[in-house]
Structure 1
Amino acid sequence: MVRQFEQLYTHMLPAIDSKKNEFHLYGYPTVTNEAIWTYCVQKKWRKKDILAMRMHEMAHDILHVSSAEFMTFTQIEEQRSSDWFSAINSEELQILLAPVQSKVVIQK
């Protein structure tokens, strides 16, 4: 099945490359062919039998991806996959998450 996906990717490469160039023109220079393909497989076609789709349907879907929906998908995926506390060690995390101890000052 992986081989069939690779063949589909190769067949769809002209459409994917065209969409990538369009995104670059709109000011998104970091968009890659692989990212567009991943978006289509995971979002656009997640409920479809990709291997049964016709080539013209796939090309149509790729060429009609809007920059807004693509960027929303990539931002959500980045938030899901990122480890927000990877830059701090466990000791720092414990200090950060420890309950605040308030000081009570009694005036006489």
Structure 2
Amino acid sequence: MEQNHQYGRYYKQVKPALESKIEEFKIFGYEHVREKELWDYLTKKKWKKPREETQIYEIVADILSAKIGDVMNFTTVEAFKLGDFALDDEEELKELLK
């Protein structure tokens, strides 16, 4: 996981909360969400600007309050960023930009 993030030092301590949230997602039918994807969402989106004096209970609360829609949107955008997309067809580009 991303140890570069300021909250990375808490990863082992909050791992049970991450696992619990992943299990919750599975109950709602989102069986393919992985712990890494949830952690990436939290570190790159939710905690983009970490606070200096955050408490571990605040980190756990953020994990447990994560919404599947937010995680899935973030994961989708990240996948698009990594993909090679060529919009060579000008008509497709115009249709997309409507």
**Shorter-chain TM-score tier:** 0.7 to 0.9
Give deviations 1:14-65, integer Å, cap 9, x for gaps: 100000001111111111111111110000100123x642110000000000
Q: TM-score, normalised by structure 2?
A: 0.75
Q: TM-score, normalised by structure 1?
A: 0.69
Partner of 2:71: 70
User: Which consecutive aligned stretches of 4+ in structure 1 deviate over 6 angstroms post-superposition?
Assistant: none
Which structure carries more relative contact order (alpha carbon 8 Å, separation 6+)? Answer: 2
In 1, Cα distance between equivalents of 2:22 and 2:53: 25
Partner of 1:79: 80
Contact 1:9 1:37 in 2 (8 A): no
Of 4, 9, 12, 1:10 maps to 12
Amino acid aligned to 2:11: Y
Give deviations 1:61-80, integer Å, cap 9, x for gaps: 00000111111111111111
**Alignment RMSD, CA only?**
2.4
Runs of 5+ in structure 2 lacking a partner?
91-98
Count of residues in Structure 1 that have an aligned counterpart in Structure 2:
87
Runs of 5+ in structure 1 lacking a partner?
86-95, 100-108
Larger Rg: 1
Cα 1:83–1:56 change in 2 (3 A) is: same
Contact 1:19 1:63 in 2 (8 A): yes
Partner of 2:59: 58
Give deviations 1:74-100, integer Å, cap 9, x for gaps: 111111111135xxxxxxxxxx9499x
Contact 1:12 1:59 in 2 (8 A): yes
Amino acid aligned to 2:48: R
Q: Percent identity?
A: 31
Report the 3-state secondary structure (helix = DSSP H, G, I; strand = E; otherwise coil) of the residue aligned with 1:78: helix
